[in-house]
């Protein structure tokens, strides 16, 4: 299915989230996000496109979390922040 659709997820932050904390993007099939090619994934914070890194040492905005469909950010989030994840068809 992932090869045929563009999938989107929206996460509204309701409490403080520390840097380097797993955030679930709430995709129906989390493996679609995790297994996708990096060129297919886009992550926005409050409308700003974020750069993906392979891990925390890459010094990018975000990197994969501890399990499928999760990410970690290099910085903290505050209530009212909005994450939007887009998975392009591949």
Please give the full DSSP string across the chain, using - where no structure is assigned. -GGG--EEEEEE--S-B-TT--EE---SSHHHHHHS-GGGEEEEETTEE--B-SSGGG-SSEEE-SSTTEEEESS-B-TT-EEEEEE---
The whole-number pLDDT of residue 36 equals 87
Per-residue pLDDT for 89 more than 90? no
The whole-number pLDDT of residue 26 equals 85
How would residue 1 be classed by pLDDT, with cut points 50, 70 and 90? very low
The whole-number pLDDT of residue 29 equals 64
- The residue assigned the tokens 């994450």 is 83
| pLDDT tens, position by position, 5-62 | 788 999 999 999 999 999 999 876 677 888 888 999 999 999 999 999 999 999 999 9
The whole-number pLDDT of residue 84 equals 97
The whole-number pLDDT of residue 34 equals 85
């Amino acid at each position: 299915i992932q090869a045929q659709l563009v999938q989107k997820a929206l996460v509204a932050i309701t409490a403080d989230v520390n840097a380097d904390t797993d955030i679930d993007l709430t995709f129906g099939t989390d493996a679609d996000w995790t297994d996708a090619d990096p060129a297919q994934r886009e992550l926005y914070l409050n409308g700003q496109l974020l750069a993906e890194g392979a891990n925390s040492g890459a010094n990018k905005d975000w990197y994969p979390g501890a399990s499928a469909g999760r990410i970690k950010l290099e910085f903290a989030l505050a209530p009212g922040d909005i994450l939007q994840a887009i998975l392009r068809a591949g």
